[in-house]
Amino acid sequence: MRAELWTKYPVSADAYIEIANVQLEIGSVATPFEYRSYGEELALCQRYYQQVGGYAHNSYAIGQFYTSYVGRCMLHFEEMRIAPTISSNAPENFGAWNAAATTLELTALSFIDTTVRNTMCQVSRTSGGFVAGNVAVLKDGGINTSRIYLDAELY
């Protein structure tokens, strides 16, 4: 497929071109224009990419501590087209909240058993501090920069 855009006017640093109501088609036959609501379009986009986090003191997943060093929490998200590749910006940006209402900084955050709707987050600390059997909550470390990236793009 090839698409070209031509404009009669030069575009400068303080000008912009706004494009709306464009529908790209494969083949030589045009179909009727599809009007979608913002919600429909967002849901279609979220099948390919989502981002969780970025809000100070928010909780993202809940689970249980298995040892004083490791816990697992289930993270749910909007359904994606395939099980996404998941990454995070840095484990130290996250915390695990324990039953004593203490947020402990993580040294590792990994994702296992990922499906199109959820993943298991494994939270770890090299210095311990968790209590086996207690509830574990994966949360922002309080610095408003924790992010989990879910990527199901076509490559």
What does 34-70 look like in DSSP terms, one character per residue?
PP--HHHHHHHHHTTEEEEE-STT-EEEEEEESSSSE
pLDDT in tens, 102-134: 778 888 999 999 999 999 999 998 888 888 998
> Going along the chain, which residue ranges are E strands?
49-53, 59-65, 70-76, 85-88, 94-97, 103-105, 108-112, 118-124, 135-140, 147-151
- Residue whose structure tokens are 């470390």: 141
Task: Write down the pTM of the prediction.
Answer: 0.75
For residue 124, the enclosing domain spans 50-151
Give the chain's domain count.
1
Domain of 65, CATH number, reads 2.60.40
pLDDT single digits (tens) 69-102:
999 999 999 999 999 999 998 788 888 877 666 7
Residue 150, pLDDT score: 95
What is Dmax (Cα atoms) for the chain? 68
| Residue 20 covered by a domain | no
